[in-house]
Structure formats: C-alpha cells, structure tokens
C-alpha cells in the first residue's frame, strides 16, 4: 500500500511520530501538501489516522478522546498527527466525508494493519455521487482548471479539504 518511491512515508522522523501515539493505530497516512504532490521545502508533514481506545473507554462511562492531535518537531521536521477513534471515523465515513476517504485511501502509508485493509474495502462501498460536493469548491476556486493554487516559497495551498 505504500508508495515505495516516496521518501516521506518512510522517513524515520515521521514513523517515530506515529509510533509515539498513546493508543494502537489501525493506520496512519500522509495527507496535505505531500499527498497532493506539492510540498514546499518548509512544509510540515500531516499524518492522519485511526486509533483504538481501550475497551474500558469504549464501554465505560469515560469514553476517552475521540480525536487526538499532536505536533512535534523531529530533527527540523514538523510532524502533525491527528487521529480519530475508530467509532468516530466510521461515523464520518458514513456521512459522505471526503476528508476521511482521502485519509483511508492515501497511498502514502506510514502505519497499516489488517483492519486498515478491511476499512479500505468497506470505503469502496461508501463512495457515492454526493462526494462530488466535497471537491466542487476546489474546482471552483481554480476556475475549473483542475490545477492547484500554490504560492512559491509558501506552504499555503488551495485544496478540496483544507488549506495547508
């Protein structure tokens, strides 16, 4: 599932950031400018993924964190990691959320598991014609040209899901 020729998914600093997560990860993938193919020299690395909470958090009165965010700088590289609990992630997937589809189907895989493969298969059945709305704003911003907007020397970009 990993792009073997993409160094960012194999970078030990990126892998270390994922390994430091407090809960087991079903997957962690690269998102943002690196996924869209136009990182600048000063771009951070955006990791997105899904974590598993302990059973006591899922079934108990203290549900635990649905979303965990961390930002670290490792040897000059900023790595931002955002993960959702599997329950929240699946709810977002069922709400026609293109953002989570991009995370799940990203070819830039840092952490994977058999459950990641299962979720990818499930996701294929979740793609609907309604996902086009997720990307319409991107096309309209770019005049329908399909090109991405990027200022030289900047990590700001115009993407369908977020500005990087």
Percentage of the chain lying above the pLDDT 70 cut = 79
Evaluate if residue 135 carries a pLDDT over 90: no
Considering the domain delimited by 7-127, tell me its CATH architecture.
Answer: 2-Layer Sandwich (3.30)
Check: CB of residue 43 under 8 Å from CB of residue 34. Answer: yes
Q: Give 127 or 51, the one with higher predicted confidence.
A: 51
Q: Is 42 left (phi over 0), alpha (psi -120 to 50) or beta?
A: alpha
Residues of the chain with pLDDT > 90, as a percent, come to 57
Q: For residue range 113-128, what is the model confidence (pLDDT) as tens digits? A: 999 999 999 988 888 7
Task: Give pLDDT tens digits for 52-90.
Answer: 999 888 888 888 899 999 999 999 999 999 999 999 999
User: What are 22's two structure tokens?
Assistant: 């407090």
Q: Looking at the predicted structure, is the pLDDT value of residue 24 above 60?
A: yes
| 152 has pLDDT over 80 | no
Are 110 and 30 within 8 A, CB to CB? Answer: yes
Instruction: Give dist(CA 71, CA 40) in Å, integer.
Output: 18
* Overall pTM > 0.85: no
Q: Which helix (H) or strand (E) holds 163?
A: none
Collapse the DSSP code of 132 into the 3-class scheme (helix H, G, I; strand E, B; otherwise coil) and give the result: helix
Q: In this model, does residue 4 exceed pLDDT 70?
A: no
Contacts of 51 (CB under 8 A, 6+ apart): 21, 22, 23, 24, 25, 26, 68, 83, 84, 85, 86
The number of residues making up the chain comes to: 164
H-run or E-run covering 67:
strand 67-74
């Amino acid at each position: 599932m990993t792009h073997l020729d993409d160094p960012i998914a194999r970078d030990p600093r990126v892998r270390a950031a994922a390994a430091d997560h407090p809960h087991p990860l079903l997957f962690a993938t690269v998102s943002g400018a690196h996924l869209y193919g136009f990182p600048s020299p000063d771009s951070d690395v955006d990791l997105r993924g899904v974590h598993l909470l302990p059973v006591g958090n899922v079934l108990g009165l203290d549900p635990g964190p649905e979303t965990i965010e961390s930002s670290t700088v490792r040897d000059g590289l900023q790595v931002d990691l955002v993960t959702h609990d599997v329950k929240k992630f699946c709810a977002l997937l069922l709400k026609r959320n293109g953002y989570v589809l991009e995370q799940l189907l990203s070819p830039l895989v840092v952490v994977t598991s058999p459950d990641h493969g299962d979720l990818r298969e499930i996701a294929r059945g979740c793609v609907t014609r309604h996902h086009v709305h997720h990307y319409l704003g991107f096309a309209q911003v770019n005049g329908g040209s399909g090109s991405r907007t990027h200022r030289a020397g900047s990590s700001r970009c115009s993407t369908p899901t977020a500005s990087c």
